[in-house]
Structure 1
Amino acid sequence: MTAQTTTTAYAYAAPAPKAPLERIAVERRALGEHDVLIDIKYAGICHSDIHTVRAEWGEGGTFPVVPGHEIAGVVAEVGPGVTRYAAGDRVGVGCFVDSCRECENCRGGLQQYCTGATGMIGTYAATGRDGKPTQGGYSQHIVVDENYVLRIPDALPLDAAAPLLCAGVTTYSPLAHWQAGPGRKVAVVGLGGLGHMAVKIAHAMGAEVTVLSQSLRKKDDGLRLGADHYHATSDPATFEALAGSFDLILNTVSADLDLGSYLGLLKTDGTLVQLGVPERPQEVGAFPLISGRRSYAGSLIGGIPETQEMLDFCAAHGIAADIELIRAEQVNEAYERVLASDVRYRFVIDAATI
């Protein structure tokens, strides 16, 4: 591979909406002045990948699309102007690979909320500065500007670190923003890819953690991961017993919920934060909000500085994702298992098998 030419990488892509993923060749751009060429070692499977390839968010999209925004790998080569990384460094790429760099949010390290002309440029299913579709991490390698690359600490194994680039920061960001910590009661709705990370991180921050899950099937796991309490939301008594209990609730599921019931679990001035993205709009009644000065909020991944902060926090506290490592040709089966909640708790593709 040379810095002067484009490179070809094999990847797994959806050739059309709702089509099974298949192995194809994609072109990666030539290495620019500030670009980093990354040999991808592992790529996590996020529910957003499934939503995108199955056109479940109503987006037309450009196909074929290579999903994957939980990328862990090793720097293979750098452009002549790169100062942050060198060949051999352990690095990651998350949910975006560029932004306008000029708006107030970008200058403040909140690139995920870019309001500039380009907006946040997603790692896949977006349009890069070169006018070409971005293609993600189910691939052998990727080229990314150094300013959008993260350093993965040596204390984190690369395979279990990959999901931190989305699931980790998606839960870390609201926990940090709403100040989860000692003396704070945090509830996590759902114990899946996002939820299991939320439990680990909130526990490490010192909060009292409760899992709210449809059943008690994963209770032992929840307690092992750091939850102090575990309740089944299928039991109406749960909502009576826990009314007014929590400072912060993270909703990690993408299903339709009775949000009024969950808002009723908050203390005065408590906040319910939406992380999962259901297919249909959610209804929020006024009374559950105004009766306790409660807030219903949203949170989207994290900016580059906060994502690095999250990686360093996880390394310091021995936190990584619970994963099931798969071969690339198992990706379609893995998608079905994600939809059936048959994974504990994140599938990760071994890129050596692509």
Structure 2
Amino acid sequence: MTTVHAYAATAPNGSLEPFEYQLGPIGPEDVDISVDSCGICHSDLSMLENAWGISAYPFVPGHEVSGRVSAVGEMVTHVQVGDRVGLGWHAGYCMTCDECLGGHHNMCSKAEQTIVGRHGGFADRVRARAASVFKLPAGIDAGEAGPLLCGGITVFNPMMQFGLPPTGRVGIIGIGGLGHLALQFARAWGCEVTAFTSSESKTQQALAMGAHDTLNSRDPNAIAGAARRFDLLLSTVNVPLDWSAYLATLKPRGRLHLLGVQVEPLELSQFPMLMGQLSVSSSPVGSPLAIRRMLEFAARHQIAPVTEHFRMEQVNDAMEHLRAGKARYRIVLDRH
């Protein structure tokens, strides 16, 4: 038996306190990761607060793990003890359903989420199935890798999934934890990139991170002036907007893709969608193949999150920093 030292909350929105639990014998397809660092995603905060009604307590957050392999099961072949690896939202897949066999593991109805019904990476060790553990390529800074395993793949997946051409025009709505990564990926993809933001300071930062242009997201005239401009809009916000106004900025056959999670129903006007053959869609993270390609792409183009670092024992300060909206742009907890 292996004792794991973690940080857990015992009630919704509770403080994260030292917590120990035991890992049983390692399974044949399992990988144990000695955690070096773990990013904090807004989903960790949502789960801590039980905002989605699926949290179980004691709750150990953390699904943007970077570390080294400490043990492997007898059937694991693609990583070995000592390898630098990462773990994201999923900790395992059934590997036999149509979605898994078709390469869409992120759509597996029996997929195991790293922090749903199991303990996550705010700990010194975490266990996952081999297919969800990824060797970090050379050129990826392990201390900055965690946010790529959730935020990075979330914004990369639609670019790959929908065959975005490098001549495309892309608008990024919201320049935060997801949006600042989307800017970098879309720019490296070859696209003309526009950032939608209402913050003057973020306007300058967006341009520095790859945007060719910016638009004030609170100025209806500015949005109206971008009519029929974009092939793809990636929304990274979790609040309702005037979606009809944003749909009007799409070219015919354009797509509005929602990545930020909002609980309110969408208000959309169908007629403009019909006339322009527009699409509205959404997606969760990405398949193992998409994650592997995302990491290779990030290494090749030197794409990295902008991070703020806290020590693991400062986890409550870090969560409050995120809750207050002060994160610029991703928070990482370091064990060492």
State TM-score, norm by structure 1.
0.91
The 3-state SS of whatever aligns with 2:103 is coil
Separation (CA, whole Å) in 2 of partners of 1:16 and 1:213: 35
Q: 1:56: which partner in 2?
A: 51
Q: 2:32: which partner in 1?
A: 37
Query: Could you tell me which of 71, 93, 96 is aligned with 1:77?
Result: 71
Separation (CA, whole Å) in 1 of partners of 2:237 and 2:300: 28
Distance 1:325 1:187, change over 3 A: same
Query: Could you tell me which of 79, 91, 111 is aligned with 1:120?
Result: 111
Query: Could you tell me which of 156, 160, 163 is aligned with 1:179?
Result: 163
Q: Percent identity?
A: 38
Structure 1 stretches lacking a partner, 5+ long: 1-5, 127-133
Structure 2 residue 100 is the aligned partner of structure 1 residue 106: yes
Give a deviation string over 1:114-150, Cα, whole Å, max 9, x none: 13xxx22100123xxxxxxx11111101122222211
Structure 2 residue 125 is the aligned partner of structure 1 residue 141: yes
Q: Which moved more, 1:160-169 or 1:24-33?
A: 24-33
The 3-state SS of whatever aligns with 1:193 is coil
Separation (CA, whole Å) in 2 of partners of 1:338 and 1:77: 33
Separation (CA, whole Å) in 1 of partners of 2:122 and 2:35: 8
Per-residue deviation, 1:197: 0.7
Per-residue deviation, 1:61: 2.5
Separation (CA, whole Å) in 2 of partners of 1:230 and 1:261: 16
The 3-state SS of whatever aligns with 1:18 is coil
Separation (CA, whole Å) in 2 of partners of 1:347 and 1:246: 31
Query: Could you tell me which of 5, 9, 28 is aligned with 2:4?
Result: 9
Q: Which moved more, 1:250-259 or 1:175-184?
A: 175-184
Per-residue deviation, 1:217: 2.6
Per-residue deviation, 1:47: 0.4
Where does 1:137-216 land on structure 2 (aligned, <5 Å)?
Answer: 137-216=121-200
Distance 1:193 1:29, change over 3 A: farther
Per-residue deviation, 1:214: 2.4
Which aligned runs of 4 or more in structure 1 are off by greater than 6 angstroms? none
Separation (CA, whole Å) in 1 of partners of 2:24 and 2:151: 27
The 3-state SS of whatever aligns with 2:63 is coil
Query: Could you tell me which of 220, 223, 226 is aligned with 2:204?
Result: 220
Per-residue deviation, 1:79: 2.1
Q: Which moved more, 1:314-323 or 1:274-283?
A: 274-283
Per-residue deviation, 1:60: 4.3
Q: 1:314: which partner in 2?
A: 298
Q: 1:277: which partner in 2?
A: 261
Separation (CA, whole Å) in 2 of partners of 1:351 and 1:282: 41
Partner AA of 2:335 in structure 1:
A
Give a deviation string over 1:221-258, Cα, whole Å, max 9, x none: 10111110111111121112111110000001111112
Is contact 2:54-2:116 (8 Å) kept? no
Separation (CA, whole Å) in 1 of partners of 2:191 and 2:164: 6
Is contact 1:192-1:341 (8 Å) kept? no
Give a deviation string over 1:167-208, Cα, whole Å, max 9, x none: 000000011122334220000001111101100001110000
Partner AA of 1:121 in structure 2:
E
Per-residue deviation, 1:36: 1.5
Q: 2:83: which partner in 1?
A: 89
Structure 2 stretches lacking a partner, 5+ long: none
Is contact 1:216-1:231 (8 Å) kept? no
Partner AA of 1:336 in structure 2:
E
State TM-score, norm by structure 2.
0.96
Separation (CA, whole Å) in 2 of partners of 1:51 and 1:11: 19
Is contact 1:36-1:78 (8 Å) kept? yes
Q: 1:68: which partner in 2?
A: 62
The 3-state SS of whatever aligns with 1:55 is coil
Give a deviation string over 1:44-70, Cα, whole Å, max 9, x none: 00001111110112x142101111111
Is contact 1:9-1:139 (8 Å) kept? yes
Separation (CA, whole Å) in 2 of partners of 1:81 and 1:106: 19
Q: Which moved more, 1:39-48 or 1:21-30?
A: 21-30
Separation (CA, whole Å) in 2 of partners of 1:25 and 1:70: 20
* Aligned residues between the structures: 336
Separation (CA, whole Å) in 2 of partners of 1:92 and 1:316: 17
Separation (CA, whole Å) in 1 of partners of 2:84 and 2:304: 15
The 3-state SS of whatever aligns with 1:271 is strand
Partner AA of 1:27 in structure 2:
Q
Partner AA of 1:120 in structure 2:
A
Separation (CA, whole Å) in 2 of partners of 1:282 and 1:214: 21
